Structure 1
Amino acid sequence: MRKLTRRPAVAALAAAFLLLAAACGSAASSGKITLSVATFGEFGYAPLFAQYQKDHPNIEIRSRVTDFDTHFKSLATQLAAGRGAADVVAVEEQYIPKYIRAKDKFVNLADYGADKLKQQWVPWKWAQGTSGDYVFGLGTDMGSLAMCYRRDLFQQAGLPTERKAVAELMPDWQGYANVAARFTEKLPNVKFADSAGTVYTAMLNQSPENYFSAKDDSYIADRNPSVRNAFQLSGGLAQAHETAGATTYTQAWNVAIKQGSFATIACPAWMLTQIKEAGGDAVSGKWDVTTVPGNSGNQGGSFLAVPKQSAHPKEAYDLAQWLTAPAQQKRLFLSDGILPSEPSVYQDPQVVAHTDPYFSNAPVGQIYAASADRLRPNYRGLHDADVRPEFGRALGRIEDGSENVEQAWADAVRMGRDAIK
């Protein structure tokens, strides 16, 4: 989940340390146990924190919220220094392999009984956060994909607008590219996709392996056909000027949504809130949601872990366990659209029946639950966070016209390899 609030890194870090100082002071003066929880962006936890504190009068919770990059840079610094980390930290899926390797820095949650909760999550989600008998973290949400599209723009382009018809029009990514060409021919001043990077990521996350081999973690970007195919198709869209070049979560992306500059975006459930915030009331009812080409794929999802430097690891675990329990995951989906990673929750009748009026009353609970059931493991590798940005930047160079698809591909493969040397 990434409800990202972009703030200057210095200000964010200063706020975090002020919160830490305030937490220590509060604990000393009140006699309560103070637990800090660090997330990248708002996870929708504020009302949950209030409820937990009400039910546990001896606990005071301090929330540290920074943007994605600041969060992980700060965590790396805090782990290296052996101090300053929150009692509970959110870790996004791309960083999980790296931090599981640094298990000496984190509490084994199995020591507090987490291993007995295994059946709570879908198997691949549980496996992501574990290594043998070691339980690194408890899963929060997952990012199973759907396709968000502008009904009004599809209608203007002479394309079908009903969800089922749109899904049938582009059952796979080549079908998506074909529709993009038809759309652009009719509406040359509107782009079909927000960015090549979004299309590329959605395609890549439908593959069991990306840049690294699941067998030995060796670099395979240059010989994995899934990477090459995703790059060529998304880069081809960019080269044909069918993407808006609006990187997700940037101000340009927000403006493009508000102005109706593009017609589609592969969207995990947590992204719906950001589309609403960017578009405002003016485009309510113009968006809709249908099945993504390829039917599934995961984009995003996090875990709650407890650093060993926590002074209250048992209490921190209890809080993390409660935040990720079925009742809280259900509450977060119904209030914030954050898709649960637990089958008992996303198959709950109330969740499945959930619709979203902003998105033309799309049955988002049903769509995302079906997508979640089709998800399969996606191996990221220890250095995914180092390599993935190089391919994103290469696609950006196609969009700005500085490289063609083949040039950008060659550079991405080389720079990706260099990033892990």
Structure 2
Amino acid sequence: MRPSRAAVTVGSAALAAALLLSACSSGTTTGAQDANEKVTLTVDLFGTFGFKEAGLYDEYMKLHPNITIKQSDTQDEGQYWQALQTKLAGGGGLADVQGLEVGRIASVMQKQADKFTDLKTLGAGDVNDGLVPWKAAAVKTADGKVLGAGTDIGPEAVCFRTDLFKEAGLPTDRAELAAKWATWDGYLALGKEYVAKAKPGNAWTDSAAGMFTAEVGQQKVRYADESGKAVHDSSPAVKTAWADATRLVADGLSAKLPQWTPEWNKAFSTGKFATLSCPAWMIGYIKGQAGDAFAGKWDIAAGPGKTGNWGGAYLAVPRTAKHPKQAAELIKWLNGKEQQVKLFTKQGSFPSSTGAQGEIKSVKDAYFNNAPIGEIFSEAAANMPAQVLGTEDGVVGKAFTDALGEVERTNTAPATAWQHALDNVKKASGN
């Protein structure tokens, strides 16, 4: 992500131990810190990365008895990003490890590179070796600095409620559904069939924002072109996704739930919506929100186009981190092939490691009716475009999804809401 200089001072014994640890493989590190040095590493994330839920922190602390990991997290990435900007501007309050969403990476690399530490200076310069090329390239500067460790990527599918489908007389066979919604037109058509038969108050999907984000995620060029020029106002990908998302609202298929809000979270265990545009990382989120009582009521099928990327993240070490060396060792271990396999198997976070991808194709998920998640998401990942990342991707995406919320919840005309989105992008970024 960003350039930097490493600022770390340790005693010679601790340095030797740290070098020994960095030489260990991701699956065999055995705790090489100074036995007298007790370190609490702070990790600040958004959404559900799954490290804690999959038991990786506990495993790491067992391997390194002198390390304690404390994680803080914010469900809404937009709120997280705003708080992070405040901390970066002030220089205080930052964790040893900060999560960064893929839509923010170009902005960080071009505007805030000096706020983060070059992992090469911390013994973790090879942290992204073996990842899909575009994932690693996004956080490497022109002069070779490595400013972040790639975690997951977000190949897309559709998650659906089998019990609600059965009540409405719709099929629940994954292959049959994937054929019916092979296109977004097919997805909307089946949605109209569903709401005509479902109980009142039972919508087809959670929000227009979710569908819009999934659809634009299927295109290489979305908000900026390959020269870096902002094209969100003329992009065919954005215009088509906007038209489809507003049609979703007009047809009465949306539950009109703002994503990442308490009411949205609660709806995972009610009948408010029957389908959800579902990147791989959403699996862990659904499990956390719906709980054990809904195991088997959720399932997964290949989505429209059987492709797309929504989200994915990086881990970075701020320049002001209290324990930069130990932080780099932690994120290198978390990013290892073995750990990425465990994350997908337990949480659904799809690996960016090509080696890990080769080991998860047969994985099924009992919570989702033994859905072959390895097969479904691997196919989507194989078809995934290497997206052009613009410096304002996060700003632009939020502007359009907020505007779709206006269409849903205040009956704003689509054309008016579209202009509001453009105005808000200009206010926030000048583009």
Q: TM-score range by the shorter chain?
A: 0.7 to 0.9
Q: Is the 1:333–1:339 Cα contact (8 Å) retained in structure 2?
A: yes
Alpha-carbon distance between aligned partners in 2 of 1:256 and 1:206, rounded to the nearest angstrom: 26
TM-score (norm. length: structure 1): 0.85
TM-score (norm. length: structure 2): 0.83
Describe the shift of the 1:409–1:69 C-alpha distance in structure 2 as closer, same or farther (beyond 3 A). closer
Match of 2:104 in 1: 95
Alpha-carbon distance between aligned partners in 1 of 2:183 and 2:74, rounded to the nearest angstrom: 36
Describe the shift of the 1:174–1:377 C-alpha distance in structure 2 as closer, same or farther (beyond 3 A). same
Match of 2:215 in 1: 203
Q: Secondary structure at the match of 1:142?
A: strand
Q: How far is 1:150 from its partner?
A: 2.2
1:253 to 242, 264, 286: 264
Q: Secondary structure at the match of 1:171?
A: coil
CA root-mean-square deviation: 2.4
Q: Deviations over 1:223-272 (max 9, x none)?
A: 11110110011111112211111122322223333221222111112212
2:402 to 393, 400, 405: 393
Q: Secondary structure at the match of 1:382?
A: coil
Match of 2:29 in 1: none
**Range with greater deviation from structure 2 (59-68 or 129-138):** 59-68
Match of 1:6 in 2: none
1:45 to 41, 51, 54: 51
Q: Secondary structure at the match of 1:417?
A: helix
Higher helix fraction: Structure 1 or Structure 2?
A: 1
1:124 to 118, 124, 134: 134
Q: How far is 1:322 from its partner?
A: 0.8
Alpha-carbon distance between aligned partners in 2 of 1:306 and 1:223, rounded to the nearest angstrom: 36
Alpha-carbon distance between aligned partners in 2 of 1:70 and 1:390, rounded to the nearest angstrom: 14
Match of 2:8 in 1: none
Describe the shift of the 1:358–1:117 C-alpha distance in structure 2 as closer, same or farther (beyond 3 A). closer
Is the counterpart of residue 332 in structure 1 residue 343 in structure 2? yes
1:309 to 289, 306, 320: 320
Q: Deviations over 1:366-385 (max 9, x none)?
A: 21122222222222311222
Q: Which has the higher contact order (CA 8 A, sep 6+)?
A: 2
Q: Is the 1:239–1:401 Cα contact (8 Å) retained in structure 2?
A: no
User: Gaps spanning 5+ residues in structure 2: where?
Assistant: 1-32
Alpha-carbon distance between aligned partners in 1 of 2:225 and 2:138, rounded to the nearest angstrom: 15
Q: Secondary structure at the match of 2:154?
A: coil
Alpha-carbon distance between aligned partners in 1 of 2:42 and 2:263, rounded to the nearest angstrom: 33
Is the counterpart of residue 134 in structure 1 residue 145 in structure 2? yes
Q: Is the 1:236–1:405 Cα contact (8 Å) retained in structure 2?
A: no
Describe the shift of the 1:259–1:53 C-alpha distance in structure 2 as closer, same or farther (beyond 3 A). closer
Q: How far is 1:142 from its partner?
A: 1.5
Letter in 2 for 1:415: N
Q: Secondary structure at the match of 1:416?
A: helix
Describe the shift of the 1:179–1:299 C-alpha distance in structure 2 as closer, same or farther (beyond 3 A). same
Map residues 110-259 of structure 1 onto 2, 5 A cutoff: 110-112=120-122, 114-132=124-142, 133-187=144-198, 189=200, 190-216=202-228, 218-259=229-270
Alpha-carbon distance between aligned partners in 1 of 2:222 and 2:332, rounded to the nearest angstrom: 31
Alpha-carbon distance between aligned partners in 2 of 1:155 and 1:63, rounded to the nearest angstrom: 40
Q: How far is 1:41 from its partner?
A: 4.6
Is the counterpart of residue 345 in structure 1 residue 356 in structure 2? yes
1:288 to 277, 284, 299: 299
Alpha-carbon distance between aligned partners in 2 of 1:392 and 1:270, rounded to the nearest angstrom: 19
Describe the shift of the 1:318–1:193 C-alpha distance in structure 2 as closer, same or farther (beyond 3 A). same
Match of 1:377 in 2: 386
Match of 1:357 in 2: 366
Q: Secondary structure at the match of 1:146?
A: strand
Q: Is the 1:124–1:376 Cα contact (8 Å) retained in structure 2?
A: no
Q: How many residues align?
A: 391
Is the counterpart of residue 278 in structure 1 residue 289 in structure 2? yes
Is the counterpart of residue 268 in structure 1 residue 279 in structure 2? yes
Alpha-carbon distance between aligned partners in 2 of 1:204 and 1:150, rounded to the nearest angstrom: 24
